[in-house]
Structure 1
Amino acid sequence: MLLIIPLLLLLVLKLAEVSVFATMSWWWIIGGAIFAFFWFEFFERMLGLDKRKDDVHFEKMKAERLKRTFDKKVGRR
């Protein structure tokens, strides 16, 4: 998201022709979009960042499920 939001902001400012951005080259926006594409398609996978986020999410879900299960069993005794 840190790549997409500034890229969209640049695009909006370029299309609205706001001061300095009106004269800015389209290559900045196109280059940023190409970089974001390669980042999300290749580099993030190579670095394992996509799986790391999933693993953290599933570990939290597992811990919450175990806690609920053991709390219920303790409450029955």
Structure 2
Amino acid sequence: MYLLILGVLLLLMKYMEYGVVATWSWWWVLSPFALAVAWWAWADATGYTRRKAMEKMDQKKQDRIDKQREALGIKTKRRSR
């Protein structure tokens, strides 16, 4: 996401001919988009995206369980991570 934001900012600066970016080559201005594509390809190929989504879902599930136990007056043991 940060690479996309950087790419859009550089693209706008180049298009509006603002600052030092106006003198840069288009290759440098568009390189954050290529890096974002490479990051997404790596994240999908290695399972990083799915693993992070599963961790987030597991954390939400554990938070719901803990909240229900507290509502019932049962002490919870927090898992250390």
**What's the TM-score, normalizing by structure 2?**
0.71
Unpaired segments of 5 or more residues in structure 1? none
Amino acid at match of 1:21: V
Please report how far the alpha carbon of residue 50 of structure 1 lies from its aligned counterpart in structure 2 after TM superposition.
Answer: 0.6
Identical pairs, percent:
30
* 5+ long unaligned stretches in structure 2: 75-81
**Consecutive aligned runs of 4 or more in structure 1 exceeding 6 Å deviation:** none
User: What is the CA deviation profile of residues 30-64 of structure 1, one whole-angstrom value per residue up to 9, with x for unaligned ones?
Assistant: 33312212321x11112332123212211111111
Letter in 2 for 1:47: T
Give the equivalent residue in structure 2 for 1:48. 47
TM-score by length of 1: 0.74
Displacement after TM superposition at 1:3 (Å): 1.2
CA–CA distance in 2 between the matches of 1:71 and 1:46?
A: 40
In 2, the alpha carbon distance for the partners of 1:23 and 1:5 equals 20
Q: Return the letter of the residue paired with 1:27.
A: W
SS of aligned partner of 1:17: coil
Alignment check: 8 A CA contact 2:6 2:32 kept: no
Letter in 2 for 1:13: M
